[in-house]
């Protein structure tokens, strides 16, 4: 068999040893398999399969080695990167730990301060509990003291400002507070409070809101009311109409001509001459012109009798302040009305009416309407004798004195 394999090798050209070797091995293998007996064919196939398997195993191992090397290289780079990241994280963690330590020290100082404040608050809480216990023991005395203060304040408001509604609310709240305790000792106080409530409810009502609305209406009309100093004051309906100018007397010559004309007409009927017609036309024209001139003169010149000359001499700035002062007077009257100060209310209304009569044109309709409105307001009765809450206050004080 060796001779057969060497024989083809001697026939190959010597210029290409590697190619001749491969060709020789292939030809020898083919000649070997072709010349081999039939019993060796399975062995040869088995060897060929083993060779292929060995090659596959070698290739697989090479591929596995290459993959392992690649993964190892990636793993190394990843580990290096993670180590770098871990170093950075460690540095950050060190900074965070440092800040946490500082915050912990701060919190410890704050906790110590809070502990001291808690101890102080506990001491204050104990003091408050003690005070609450003391107050709870004398709850009735405390409630009566509170009711006394409320009733005293309501009595002052009723006496000074006439606040009936506030006094009623104070009495009703006091009665409700006493009803919660449900003690028979408070029956006398509640009876006194009930009598004061009935006394206040029996008082006559005053339309404070209606009077205030009328005052507001009068204040709103002040800006439209004409002054005496105005150039064109509003004329009233009672002002006399301008009289017609007297007709001029006829001339003596015209009278003589008229007499002669009448005498001639009596003697014989004749047509009027051109001279008489022209004279009659001129007389009519002169009469109409004189009437129109007299009416124009009456429009240019007005003669009025004024009791207060200073009202005519007001400048525009002074006229503005006259109106504003009148508004302030009426606003003061409104405040006096709400506070039930009748003396100030009537004084302010009288001053406002005097100011209107002095500076404003009383012939104008708006001025007359405002004066009538103020007279109606001034006629309202605010003089109501206000009762006091002395009975309820005395009942509370007597109970506190006995107990």
> Which pLDDT value is given to residue 56?
92
Q: Pseudo-torsion of CA 160, 161, 164, 170, nearest 10°?
A: -70
How many domains is the chain built from? 2
> Which pLDDT value is given to residue 21?
44
Domain identity same for 194 and 329: no
Domain identity same for 217 and 186: no
Domain identity same for 211 and 198: no
**Cβ distance 211 to 377 under 8 Å?**
yes
> Which pLDDT value is given to residue 66?
92
Burial class of residue 401 in the structure, from the number of CB atoms within 10 Å of its CB (0-12 exposed, 13-18 middle, 19+ buried): exposed
- Cα 240 from chain centre: 57
Domain identity same for 214 and 173: no
Per-residue pLDDT of the chain (403 residues; tens, 9 = 90+): 334 444 434 443 444 444 444 444 444 444 444 444 455 788 888 888 899 999 999 999 989 899 888 988 888 888 888 888 888 888 888 888 888 888 888 888 888 888 888 888 888 888 888 877 666 556 777 778 888 888 888 888 777 767 778 888 888 888 888 887 767 778 888 888 888 888 888 877 667 778 888 888 889 989 888 888 775 544 444 444 444 444 444 444 444 444 444 444 444 444 557 778 888 888 888 888 888 888 777 766 566 666 666 666 677 778 888 889 999 999 998 888 877 778 888 899 999 999 898 888 888 898 899 999 898 888 877 766 677 888 888 888 888 787 6
> Which pLDDT value is given to residue 297?
73
Backbone φ and ψ for 251, nearest 5 degrees, come out as -70, 155
> Which pLDDT value is given to residue 242?
44
> Which pLDDT value is given to residue 263?
43
Which residues span the domain enclosing 198? Answer: 132-202+391-401
In the numeric block, which tokens belong to residue 270? Answer: 């004749």
* CB-CB neighbours of 33 under 10 Å: 13
Q: Pseudo-torsion of CA 257, 263, 267, 271, nearest 10°?
A: 40
Domain identity same for 136 and 188: yes
> Which pLDDT value is given to residue 307?
62
Spatial distance between the Cα atoms of 374 and 355, rounded to a whole number of angstroms? 12
Q: Is residue 365 part of a domain?
A: yes
> Which residues contact residue 23 at a Cβ distance below 8 angstroms, ignoring those fewer than 6 apart?
12
Q: Is residue 2 part of a domain?
A: no
Domain identity same for 141 and 193: yes
Domain identity same for 333 and 374: yes
Spatial distance between the Cα atoms of 371 and 376, rounded to a whole number of angstroms? 9
Spatial distance between the Cα atoms of 399 and 266, rounded to a whole number of angstroms? 122
Q: Is residue 43 part of a domain?
A: no
Domain identity same for 198 and 336: no
Q: Is residue 284 part of a domain?
A: no
Spatial distance between the Cα atoms of 23 and 372, rounded to a whole number of angstroms? 146
Domain identity same for 355 and 222: yes
Q: Is residue 117 part of a domain?
A: no
Spatial distance between the Cα atoms of 5 and 9, rounded to a whole number of angstroms? 7
CA-to-CA separations, 35 to 47, 194, 368, in angstroms, rounded: 17, 146, 156
Domain identity same for 170 and 193: yes
In the numeric block, which tokens belong to residue 89? Answer: 């994280």
Spatial distance between the Cα atoms of 20 and 27, rounded to a whole number of angstroms? 10
Q: Is residue 25 part of a domain?
A: no
Backbone φ and ψ for 334, nearest 5 degrees, come out as -65, -40
**Cβ distance 364 to 245 under 8 Å?**
no
Residue pointed to by tokens 């919660």 = 180
CA angle at 254 for the pair 250 and 256, rounded to the nearest 5°? 115
Q: Is residue 302 part of a domain?
A: no
Domain identity same for 168 and 217: no
Domain identity same for 158 and 218: no
Q: Is residue 6 part of a domain?
A: no
pTM: 0.40
């Amino acid at each position: 068999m060796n001779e057969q394999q060497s024989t083809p090798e001697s026939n190959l050209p010597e210029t290409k040893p590697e190619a001749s070797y491969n060709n020789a091995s292939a030809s020898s293998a083919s000649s070997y398999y072709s010349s081999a007996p039939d019993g060796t064919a399975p062995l040869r196939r088995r060897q060929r399969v083993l060779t292929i398997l060995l090659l596959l195993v070698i290739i697989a191992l090479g591929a596995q080695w290459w993959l392992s090397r690649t993964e190892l290289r990636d793993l190394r780079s990843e580990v290096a990167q993670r180590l770098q990241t871990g170093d950075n994280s460690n540095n950050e963690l060190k900074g965070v730990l440092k800040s946490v330590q500082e915050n912990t020290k701060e919190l410890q100082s704050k906790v110590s301060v809070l502990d001291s404040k808690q101890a102080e608050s506990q001491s204050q809480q104990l003091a408050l509990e003690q005070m609450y216990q003391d107050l709870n023991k004398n709850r009735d005395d405390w409630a009566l003291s509170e009711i006394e203060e409320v009733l005293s304040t309501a009595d002052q408001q009723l006496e000074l400002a006439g606040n009936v509604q506030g006094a009623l609310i104070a009495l009703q709240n006091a009665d409700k507070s006493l009803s919660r305790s449900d003690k028979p000792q408070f029956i006398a106080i509640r009876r006194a409070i009930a009598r004061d409530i009935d006394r206040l409810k029996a008082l006559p009502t005053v339309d404070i809101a209606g009077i205030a609305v009328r005052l507001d209406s009068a204040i709103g009309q002040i800006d439209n009311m004409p002054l005496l100093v105005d150039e064109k004051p509003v004329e009233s309906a009672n002002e006399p109409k301008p009289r017609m100018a007297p007709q001029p007397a006829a001339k003596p010559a015209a009278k003589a001509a008229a007499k002669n004309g009448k005498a001639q007409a009596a003697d014989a009927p004749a047509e009027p001459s051109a001279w008489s017609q022209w004279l009659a036309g001129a007389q009519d024209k002169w009469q109409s012109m004189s009437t129109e001139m007299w009416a124009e003169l009456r429009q240019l010149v007005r003669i009025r009798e004024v009791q207060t000359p200073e009202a005519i001499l007001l400048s525009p700035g002074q006229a503005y302040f006259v109106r504003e002062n009148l508004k302030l007077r009426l606003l003061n009257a409104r405040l006096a009305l709400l506070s039930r100060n009748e003396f100030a209310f009537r004084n302010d209304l009288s001053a406002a009416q005097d100011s209107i009569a002095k500076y404003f044109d009383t012939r104008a309709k708006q001025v007359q309407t405002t004066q009538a409105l103020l007279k109606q307001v001034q006629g309202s009765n605010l003089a109501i004798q206000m009762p006091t809450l002395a009975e309820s206050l005395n009942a509370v004080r007597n109970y506190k004195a006995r107990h």
